[in-house]
Amino acid sequence: MTVAGSVSHIEEPVDRPAIPAADATEEKPLLSASGVSKFYGSRIGCEDVSIDIWPGEVLAVVGESGSGKTTLLNCISTRLMPTTGTVTYRMRDGQTRDLYRMGEAERRFLMRTDWGFVHQNPADGLRMTVSAGANVGERLMATGARHYGDIRATAGDWLGRVEIAEDRIDDQPRAFSGGMRQRLQIARNLVTGPRLVFMDEPTGGLDVSVQARLLDLLRGLVTDLGLAVVVVTHDLAVARLLSHRMVVMKDGRVIETGLTDRVLDDPRAPYTQLLVSSILQA
Amino acid sequence: MTMQPTDLATYNFAYLDEQTKRMIRRAILKAIAIPGYQVPFASREMPMPYGWGTGGVQVTASIIGPDDTLKVIDQGADDTTNAVSIRAFFAKVAEVSTTTSTADATIIQTRHRIPEEKLGEGQILVYQVPIPEPLRFLEPRETETRKMHALEDYGLMHVKLYEDIARNGHIATTYAYPVKIEGRYVMDPSPTPKFDNPKMDQSEALQLFGAGREKRIYAVPPYTSVVSLDFEDYPFEVNRFDQPCALCGAEGVYLDEVVLDDRGGRMFVCSDTDHCEKRRAAGHKGTMAGGEIGQ
Ligand SMILES: Nc1ncnc2c1ncn2[C@@H]1O[C@H](COP(=O)(O)OP(=O)(O)O)[C@@H](O)[C@H]1O
Ligand SMILES: [Mg+2]
């Protein structure tokens, strides 16, 4: 398995991948986390994490269960206030803003226009009791779309892009399989054309064959749309297939960062070596 | 409603004590100052069950004075048990005069209708509200709905309308049709038919809403914009009726269907009984007026 637009020729230790994305020429990261720590009381969620996410790159956050992946993802996506550290984001207008100094209204707007968040459990990211069409259309309506016909047409178009038959547009996700729900959640997030999507174990709850199809779809969408993605996964195969670059976490800290192929083929930290040799994956 | 007149004799004017009335008046003033915003208040037990309009009754009790004239309607009618009981309650505890005539009332407490006769300055319409939160049906978390109001985050309202159209081919919501107040807060107009929504817009009368069980008061001050939510290609429309009132011949009013017999006989008559009676007194006649039903 190699990533489309292979990055294996890149010299080490370049921390920034050469991605054939639309705005790869941008000189600044899209999102930048610096010294981010989150403590749950005396327990460490994540500690002193600094990472950059570049436009159009897919960054995988890997590590065993409890290593702090979800905590980090939530901290950088403003879903969980870090105990210390800063997270900045380069807005569409080019200005870099401190996410935790933004007003709540502006942050919500950012989250539903320029960002997406894909939950492991689709029920956490969908409205289970409204139709697929309304699920996809919600962000449009939340940002001012007021033409029913247009909203419906756009929703139908997006259902097609995530391989859901258009005649399911009026069905509720309750009637969908796990894989369909996850694809619907993805469509719901992508409809506003976000630049950055966060995903927490997006294939986690799915059967292996369904996982493969979803990963395939995700990879296609990410490439087509030039999305930047931060994907949390404990599954190195997912990281291998989707990501350009990865960070390895252990006990809340980042212990290794690098291009995905390099980390997986030539892990440096002893812990990563164990992880890659599957000893810890059982 | 079971009320012992002997019990009431010991109560303060309009039943509630002055402390409580002041508390409710403060909530009302705040509600007027922030049109459409739901103000929490410490709802009191009233000598009637929730669902009988305890929120409206507390609002009325807090604003009524000895010189007021009270009208109470339930679905437009002055003579239902609920309306009669509430009217009798205030006649007893506040010794105010009561009326069924819209024009003569200074305070009109209502469940489910706005009178057909245009309200004027100085009149107050008090709505009995069962569920004040328009976002509730899709977002049950109170913490979240509060935040949505605070951030003017109302996409969900259109999700509901979208679902309506997707399911029914048109916006099928006919009651409690959501409105936006003065371009800011989205509000549930209580279970009035959407037919009445346009009457709320730029009304000369003050409109107060009391939800007893939910402990919320909200308001639409006089001359305030009240806009019914809709889509560009599915604009808001009021209910239409194919025929005029069978008793008074009125058109462009809200009609109730009345079943006449068990053989499918039915007629449509004004839901606003006062309006209908006045028209008939003025000589207007519908197709069934004067017959065995219209007497
Ligand atoms: N809400 C919470 N309260 C207390 N401890 C938590 C909470 N969430 C996570 N943790 C702890 O923080 C650490 C990191 O958890 P998490 O970020 O969920 O890891 P991962 O996603 O890698 O499995 C774990 O020790 C976990 O028990
Ligand atoms: Mg996790």
Over residues B155-164, the pLDDT tens digits come to: 999 999 999 9
Does A242 have pLDDT greater than 70?
A: yes
| Alpha carbon distance A159, B116 (integer Å) | 47
Q: Tell me the C-alpha distance between B209 and B37, whole Å.
A: 11
- All residues of chain A having their beta carbon less than 8 Å from the beta carbon of residue B158 are 141, 146
Lowest-pLDDT choice from A74-78, A202-206, A251-255, A257-261: A202-206
pLDDT, chain A, mean = 90
* Whether residue A122 has its Cβ less than 6 Å from ligand 1: no
- The answer to whether B233 contacts A147, with C-beta atoms less than 8 Å apart, is yes
Query: Which one of A79, A110, A113, A141 would you mutate to disrupt binding with B, by most B Cβ within 10 Å of its Cβ?
Result: A141
- CB of A38 within 6 A of ligand 1: the answer is no
Query: What per-residue confidence (pLDDT) applies to B264?
Result: 87
pLDDT in tens, B187-214: 999 899 999 999 999 999 999 999 999 9
Residue B236 has pLDDT above 90, yes or no: yes
Please identify which residue in the block is written with the tokens 């449509």.
B268
Q: Which segment of A194-198, A272-276, B114-118 scores lowest on mean pLDDT?
A: A272-276
Query: What's the whole-number mean pLDDT along residues A130-153?
Result: 97
A40, A76, A199, A281: which to mutate for ligand 1, most atoms within 8 A of CB?
Answer: A40
Nearest CA to ligand 1 atom 26: A66
Beta-bridge mates of residue B208: B126, B219
Chain B residues close to A134, C-beta within 8 Å:
159, 162-163, 166
What's the pLDDT at A280? 52
Q: What pLDDT, on the 0 to 100 scale, is given for residue B10?
A: 72
Taking an 8 Å cut-off on Cβ atoms, the answer to whether A131 and B166 are in contact is yes
Which residues make Cβ contacts (< 8 Å) with residue B162, sequence separation at least 6?
A133, A134, A137, A141, A148, A151, A152, B231
Per the CB < 8 Å rule, is B153 touching A142?
Answer: yes
Residues of chain B numbered 217-236 and touching chain A (CB < 8 Å): 231-234
Rounded CA separation A165/A158 (Å): 10
Search chain A and give the residue with CA nearest B152. A105
Q: What is the mean pLDDT of residues B278-295?
A: 78
Catalytic-role residue among B76, B245, B249, B286: B245
Q: Does B163 touch chain A (CB under 8 A)?
A: yes
CA distances (Å), origin A168, targets A151, A155, A171, B161: 15, 11, 5, 19
Nearest CB to B138 within list A127, A139, A143: A127
CB within 8 Å: A138 and B233: no
Name which of A20-24, A125-129, B113-117, B196-200 the model is least confident about.
Answer: A20-24
- Tokens of residue B203, six digits: 């009304």
Phi-psi region of B230 (alpha: psi -120 to 50; beta: other; left: phi over 0): beta
Q: In this model, does residue A12 exceed pLDDT 80? A: no
Q: Which of A54-58, A111-115, A227-231, B261-265 has the lowest mean pLDDT?
A: B261-265
Query: Which among B276, B286, B290, B294 is annotated as catalytic?
Result: B276
Could you read off the pLDDT of A182-228 as tens digits, one per residue? 999 999 999 999 999 999 999 988 998 899 999 999 999 999 999 99
Report how far residue B45's alpha carbon sits from residue A206's, in angstroms, rounded to the nearest whole number: 52
The pLDDT value recorded for residue B137 is 83
- CB distance A146–B153 less than 8 Å? no
Average pLDDT score over chain B: 92
Q: How far is the C-alpha of B109 from the C-alpha of B70, rounded, in Å? A: 8
Report the distance separating Cα B255 and Cα B268, nearest Å. 6
Residue B169 has pLDDT above 70, yes or no: yes
**Chain position carrying tokens 């939160």:** B133
**B76 vs B270: CA distance, rounded Å:** 8
Q: Which residue has the higher pLDDT, B295 or B237?
A: B237
In chain A, what is the straight-line distance between the N-terminal and C-terminal CA atoms, in Å?
Answer: 21
Beta carbon of A74 within 6 Å of any ligand 1 atom: no
Greater confidence, B154 or A11? B154
Considering only CB atoms, which chain A residues are within 8 Å of B154?
A: 142
**Any atom of ligand 1 within 6 Å of the Cβ of A69:** yes
**pLDDT attached to residue B289:** 76
| H or E stretch at B32 | helix B18-33
pLDDT band at B49 (very low <50, low <70, confident <90, very high): confident
What contacts B141, CB < 8 A, 6 or more positions away? none
CA–CA separation, B67 and B79 (whole Å): 23
CB A146 near ligand 1, within 6 Å: no
pLDDT digits (tens, 9 = 90+) for B59-109: 999 999 999 999 999 999 999 999 999 999 999 999 999 999 999 999 999
pLDDT > 60? residue A19: no
Averaged pLDDT for residues A169-177: 97
The answer to whether the CB of A101 is under 6 A from ligand 1 is: no
Res A9 pLDDT > 70: no
Q: What is the pLDDT of residue A198?
A: 98
Which residue, among B144, B149, B162, B171, would best test binding to A if mutated, counting the most A CBs under 10 Å from its CB?
Answer: B162
- Pocket flag, ligand 1, residue A68 (CB < 6 Å): yes
Pocket test for ligand 1, best of A36, A42, A43 (most atoms within 8 A of CB): A43
Ligand 2 is an ion; residues with CB less than 5 A from it: A 70
Residue B270 annotated in active site: yes
pTM metric for this prediction: 0.86
**Is A169's CB within 8 Å of B166's CB?**
yes
**pLDDT of A130 above 80:** yes
- Select from B104, B46, B108 the least CA-distant residue to B78: B108
Would the pLDDT of A24 be above 50? Answer: no
pLDDT of residue B290: 65
Contact A143 B155 (CB under 8 A): yes
CA distance B209 to B189: 8
* Whole-number Å distance between alpha carbons of B210 and B40: 10
pLDDT value of residue A8: 35
Q: Output the CA A44–ligand 1 centroid distance in Å.
A: 8
Confirm whether B36 is a catalytic residue. yes
Give nearest CA residue, ligand 1 atom 14. A68
Q: How many whole angstroms separate alpha carbon B184 and alpha carbon B128?
A: 23
Instruction: Please name the residue ranges forming H helices in B181-272.
Output: 197-200
Question: Is B181 or B262 the better-scoring residue by pLDDT?
Answer: B181
Identify the pLDDT of residue A120.
95
Radius of gyration, alpha carbons of chain B: 20
Active site residue B56: no
Residue B291 reports pLDDT greater than 80: no
Pick the residue whose CA is nearest to atom 25 on ligand 1: A66
